C-alpha cells in the first residue's frame, strides 16, 4: 500500500481511488453522487494519511483474558478544513476518525489577483502536539494552501500534511517552495490551469458541485 514520506508528494494510485475519482470527474455525475464519492474518497485518503500516527501500548481485558494491545497515543490528530469545499472531505475523514479534533480556516480567492484572503480561523487546543491534516479538494495555484499553512504554523502547528483530491505541478511546486516541510497526498496530478486558475481537465468547481451553487 502507498504511504507518504515527509516533505514528499504521494499520489494515491489504489484502484478504488482511481475508479471513484473518474466517476467524480464526470460532468453528468449528480450532486448527491458527487457528495457520496467525495466522502468515500476522503475516507480512503484518511486511511493512508494516518498511517504514521503514534501508538502506545495499554493493558486491556478481552472476554477471555488480559493482554497488552496498541492504541493511538493522543492528542494525535487534527483535521483542518479550508472552507468551504474542504468540508466535503472532512465528513469522510471523521467517519474513519471520529475522535479527531477539527479546525476551520476560511479563505476566498480574489478574482482579479487569484490571491487568497483569510476571513475566518478557529483551531483546536494543543495544535502543536497534533498531526494536522489540512483538507481542500483542489491544489490549483497553491496560493490558498500556502496561506493556510502559514497561518497554521503561526498558531503553533508543527506536523502538517496537506490532502487534496486533485493537484497541479504548479501548485505542488508552490507548496514545495513555501512549505518544504509539508507533505502532500493527492489522488491525481492534472497537467495545468486555465486563465481563471481552474485545474484542467479537473472536475469543475468542487465547492459548487458539492453544495449545488454557482
Q: What does the domain layout of the chain look like in residue ranges?
A: 9-211
Q: Which residues of the chain have pLDDT under 70?
A: 1-7, 114
Binding residues for 5-phospho-alpha-D-ribose 1-diphosphate: 84, 109, 136-144, 205
User: What is the pTM for the complete model shown?
Assistant: 0.90
Q: What is the pLDDT of residue 113?
A: 74
Binding residues: 84, 109, 136-144, 199, 204-206
CA angle 116, 101, 118 (to 5 degrees): 15
Q: What is the pLDDT of residue 2?
A: 40
The CATH architecture that domain 9-211 belongs to is 3-Layer(aba) Sandwich (3.40)
C-beta of residue 210 within 8 angstroms of C-beta of residue 29: no
CA distance 64 to 70: 18
Cell of 89: 472531505
Cell of 127: 495544535
Alpha-carbon distance values, 54 to 20, 41, 91, 156 (Å)? 30, 23, 23, 19
Binding residues for uracil: 199, 204-206
H-only helix segments in the chain: 15-25, 31-49, 86-96, 143-154, 169-178, 206-211
Amino acid at each position: 500500500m502507498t504511504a507518504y514520506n515527509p516533505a514528499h508528494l504521494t499520489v494515491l494510485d489504489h484502484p478504488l481511488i482511481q475508479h471513484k475519482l473518474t466517476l467524480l470527474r464526470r460532468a453528468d455525475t449528480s450532486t448527491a453522487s458527487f457528495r457520496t464519492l467525495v466522502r468515500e474518497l476522503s475516507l480512503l485518503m484518511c486511511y493512508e494519511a494516518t498511517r504514521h500516527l503514534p501508538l502506545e501500548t495499554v493493558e486491556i481485558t478481552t472476554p477471555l483474558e488480559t493482554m497488552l494491545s496498541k492504541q493511538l497515543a493522543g492528542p494525535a490528530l487534527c483535521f483542518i478544513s479550508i472552507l468551504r469545499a474542504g468540508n466535503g472531505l472532512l465528513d469522510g475523514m471523521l467517519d474513519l476518525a471520529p475522535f479527531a479534533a477539527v479546525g476551520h480556516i476560511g479563505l476566498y480567492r480574489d478574482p482579479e489577483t487569484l490571491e487568497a484572503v483569510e476571513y475566518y480561523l478557529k483551531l483546536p487546543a494543543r495544535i502543536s502536539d497534533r498531526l494536522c491534516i489540512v483538507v481542500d479538494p483542489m491544489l490549483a495555484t497553491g496560493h490558498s494552501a500556502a496561506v493556510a499553512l502559514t497561518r497554521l504554523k503561526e498558531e503553533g502547528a508543527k506536523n502538517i500534511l496537506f490532502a487534496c483530491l486533485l493537484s497541479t505541478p504548479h501548485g505542488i511546486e508552490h507548496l514545495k517552495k513555501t512549505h518544504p516541510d509539508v507533505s502532500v497526498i493527492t489522488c491525481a496530478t492534472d497537467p495545468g490551469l486555465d486563465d481563471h486558475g481552474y485545474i484542467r481537465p479537473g472536475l469543475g468547481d468542487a465547492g459548487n458541485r458539492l453544495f449545488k451553487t454557482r
